[in-house]
């Protein structure tokens, strides 16, 4: 039995209705950027997340970069964040002209709030927690600390559409949050794309400028910006999928719950560590990640069994060449937990198109690796 990691062939197996919408819309107005469908998408995502404003962006990464610039982050500044994240978090900080300051994570792979306060210096200009793999960070504590130091919180909620803590959506705790609708995220379009949400009128107005070359109207440049818009075509795909966000996400959450139960059983809990799931949190499992003993051999065993397991990511950001070559090196406090996690993290297929049989096959293959070996 094959258990693929990607599901795009199934999700978009019948693209006819989307293509028809694109055809009908574009034949009508030919607004390939800034079409009315973009506004529709922005209204939908603002309503969905409960944020006052939403603006489509050309990617999650550019959304983060523009937000950092919008709150005044620039050369000489430091942004406190984690090393335990996708490279884009760090890339967005560097693209804004600033430097990341890495702090360690909790057992659930999100930033350890207790370490933030000690990392704050006169250079700190913002804090960027990551909803890593769709898991909620301790936002209440983080926002409190930031408030004490008058620092803006920019949420990397790029893989956390529909994720919440205490009933409140990702991206709405800090000044703003950036999301991605890249094909592998839980709401996905047919290429790169993203959006930002914010309750701040000031940030909203800055992003309006920043994402369109800093242009006010057609001819006047207020400040230097980006080409950071979401294409009309991608907004059409996003609008088409919008009614299914909850259903898709709930399916992934249900799949993860089956894994959690199986891996917490007395036999497997000796080998697999399921990260703590925060009470009142809605973890959306952009990735289903656990810590596994003898990870690399488990990975090989699963691949042998037709299961497309993956490692996200074997090398943490602070040990990447690009980071190591900085002079002076990026600041950091002890990252022992991040490094230990990177040695044993494994990601299992968790997408909404998996059948019960496929999920059972994964669980059986994991059991066979650890317990079959023991018996034999
Ligand atoms: C996907 C992702 C990004 C980047 O989003 P893009 O749309 O691909 O630019 C940033 N941060 C995290 C945590 C992500 O998962």
Residue 177 is predicted with a pLDDT of 98
Compute the chain's Rg from CA coordinates: 21
CA of 159, closest atom in ligand 1: 15
pLDDT tens digits for range 177-198: 999 999 999 899 999 999 999 9
Of the pLDDT bands very low, low, confident and very high (cuts 50, 70, 90), residue 141 is: very high
Asked if residue 130 has its Cβ within 6 Å of ligand 1, the reply is yes
CA 60 – ligand 1 centroid, Å: 5
pLDDT tens digits for range 72-84: 999 999 999 999 9
CA of 192, closest atom in ligand 1: 7
CA of 194, closest atom in ligand 1: 7
Residue 11 is predicted with a pLDDT of 87
Estimate to the nearest angstrom the gap between the alpha carbon of 145 and the chain centroid: 22
CA 152 – ligand 1 centroid, Å: 20
Nearest CA to ligand 1 atom 12: 158
Asked if residue 128 has its Cβ within 6 Å of ligand 1, the reply is no
Asked if residue 159 has its Cβ within 6 Å of ligand 1, the reply is yes
CA 373 – ligand 1 centroid, Å: 38
Asked if residue 61 has its Cβ within 6 Å of ligand 1, the reply is yes
Of the pLDDT bands very low, low, confident and very high (cuts 50, 70, 90), residue 330 is: very high
Of the pLDDT bands very low, low, confident and very high (cuts 50, 70, 90), residue 12 is: confident
**Region 19-28 average pLDDT:** 92
Q: In percent, how much of the chain has pLDDT > 70? A: 99
| Pairing of the two strands 288-292 and 281-282 | unpaired
CA of 286, closest atom in ligand 1: 15
Asked if residue 158 has its Cβ within 6 Å of ligand 1, the reply is yes
Beta pairing partners, 102:
81, 332
Contact 131, 101 (CB under 8 A): no
Asked if residue 187 has its Cβ within 6 Å of ligand 1, the reply is no
pLDDT tens digits for range 313-325: 999 999 999 999 9
Residues 6+ apart with CB under 8 A from 230: 38, 41, 56, 57, 58, 193, 194, 195, 238
In the predicted structure, residue 364 carries a pLDDT above the cut 80 = yes
**Region 48-75 average pLDDT:** 98
Nearest CA to ligand 1 atom 2: 158
Ligand 1 pocket: which of 86, 96, 229 to mutate (most atoms <8 Å of CB)?
A: 86
CA of 59, closest atom in ligand 1: 7
In the predicted structure, residue 376 carries a pLDDT above the cut 60 = no
Neighbours of 225 (CB within 10 A): 19
Asked if residue 233 has its Cβ within 6 Å of ligand 1, the reply is no
Task: Report residue 274 as tokens.
Answer: 């399921």
**Region 157-164 average pLDDT:** 98
**Region 235-251 average pLDDT:** 97
Of the pLDDT bands very low, low, confident and very high (cuts 50, 70, 90), residue 26 is: confident
pLDDT tens digits for range 255-297: 999 999 999 999 999 999 999 999 999 999 999 999 999 999 9
CA 375 – ligand 1 centroid, Å: 42
Residue 14 is predicted with a pLDDT of 86
In the predicted structure, residue 236 carries a pLDDT above the cut 80 = yes
Integer Cα distance of 348 and 375 in angstroms: 24
pTM exceeds 0.95, yes or no: yes
Of the pLDDT bands very low, low, confident and very high (cuts 50, 70, 90), residue 176 is: very high
Of the pLDDT bands very low, low, confident and very high (cuts 50, 70, 90), residue 13 is: confident
As a whole number, the mean pLDDT across the chain is: 96
Residue 120 is predicted with a pLDDT of 98
Beta strands, E only, the chain: 53-57, 78-82, 99-103, 124-127, 154-156, 164-165, 168-169, 176-180, 194-198, 215-216, 220-221, 272-273, 281-282, 288-292, 345-348
Contact 159, 131 (CB under 8 A): yes
**Region 39-66 average pLDDT:** 98
């Amino acid at each position: 039995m094959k258990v693929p990691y990607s599901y795009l062939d199934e999700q978009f197996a019948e693209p006819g209705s989307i293509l028809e919408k694109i055809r009908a819309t574009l034949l009508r107005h030919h607004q390939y950027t800034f079409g009315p469908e973009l506004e529709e998408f922005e209204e939908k995502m603002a309503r969905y997340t409960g944020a006052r404003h939403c603006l489509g962006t050309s990617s999650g990464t550019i959304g983060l970069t523009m937000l950092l610039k919008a709150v005044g982050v620039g050369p000489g500044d430091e942004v406190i964040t984690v090393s335990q994240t996708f490279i884009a978090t760090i890339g967005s900080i560097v693209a804004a002209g600033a430097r990341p300051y890495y702090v360690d994570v909790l057992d659930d792979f999100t930033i350890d709030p207790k370490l933030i306060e000690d990392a704050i210096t006169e250079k700190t200009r913002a804090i960027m927690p990551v909803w890593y793999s769709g898991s909620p960070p301790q936002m209440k504590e983080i926002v409190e600390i930031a408030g004490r130091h008058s620092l803006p919180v920019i949420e990397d909620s790029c893989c956390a559409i529909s994720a919440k803590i205490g009933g409140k959506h990702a991206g709405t705790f800090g000044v703003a949050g950036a999301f991605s609708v890249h094909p592998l995220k839980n709401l996905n379009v047919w290429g790169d794309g993203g959006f930002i949400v914010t309750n701040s009128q000031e940030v909203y107005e800055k992003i309006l400028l920043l994402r369109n070359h800093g242009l006010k109207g057609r001819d006047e440049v207020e400040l230097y910006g980006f080409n950071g818009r979401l294409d009309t075509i991608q907004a059409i795909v996003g609008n088409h999928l919008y009614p299914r966000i909850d259903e898709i996400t709930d399916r992934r959450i249900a799949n993860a719950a089956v894994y959690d139960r199986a891996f917490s059983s007395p036999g497997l809990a000796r080998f697999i560590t399921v990260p703590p799931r925060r009470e009142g949190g809605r973890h959306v499992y952009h990735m289903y990640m656990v810590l596994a003993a003898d990870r690399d051999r488990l990975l090989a065993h699963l691949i042998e069994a037709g299961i497309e397991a993956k490692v996200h990511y074997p090398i943490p950001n602070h040990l990447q060449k690009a980071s190591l070559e900085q002079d002076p090196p990026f600041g950091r406090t002890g990252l022992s937990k991040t490094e230990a996690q990177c040695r044993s993290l494994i990601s299992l297929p968790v997408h909404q198109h998996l059948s019960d049989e496929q999920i059972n096959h994964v669980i059986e293959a994991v059991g066979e690796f650890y317990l079959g070996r023991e018996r034999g």
